[in-house]
Amino acid sequence: MDALELKYVVERDNFAQAGEASGALKKTLKSLGFPPDLVRRVAIAMYEAEINMVIHAYGGEITATVTPEKIQVVFADVGPGIPDIELAMTAGYSTATADVRDLGFGAGMGLPNMKKYADDLDVQSTIGVGTTVTMTFLTQNG
């Protein structure tokens, strides 16, 4: 299999669309025959990042690259950035508004769950510019 690259656009505050990209990639990975546990880990971590983009960013793009060895998903947003990445990685820490929390989001588990389910997580952020989150998942061939 050659590398497969898929792109998805995420809109700010579009909770109705949130989860569509992670659902689409999950379906693609299943159809390609990746192991269910790997597909589940990718879907969970990707959903967390996708929701963070909807809640905190002004929009962005997801690029997923799938090869036999690994699945790499890059989330590049335009937004306020993350002032303290180490603090943001703390379970339960959240800057979500009360309105977002009332919708059932913003529990502060997004980045911790991404770290838990990805084999590698890299978070780069510039205040006033945006954040790029790169998650890598190794396949059984990796």
Calculate mean pLDDT across residues 24-33: 97
Task: Provide the pLDDT for residue 71.
Answer: 98
Which residue type does 34 have?
Answer: F
- pLDDT at residue number 99: 87
Residue that the structure tokens 């505050």 belong to: 13
Q: What is the pTM of this model?
A: 0.92
Alpha-carbon distance of 31 to 33, in angstroms, equals 5
Q: How confident is the model at residue 44 (pLDDT cuts 50, 70, 90)?
A: very high
CA–CA separation, 35 vs 20, rounded Å? 21
Task: With a cut of 90, say whether residue 18 has pLDDT above it.
Answer: no
Is residue 41 within 8 Å of residue 114, measured between CB atoms?
no
- Mean pLDDT along residues 100-113: 85
Cα 116 to Cα 36, 69, 97, 111, distances in angstroms: 17, 20, 25, 9
Q: 4-138, what's its fold?
A: Heat Shock Protein 90 (3.30.565)
| Residues above pLDDT 90, as percent of the chain | 76
pLDDT of residue 141: 58
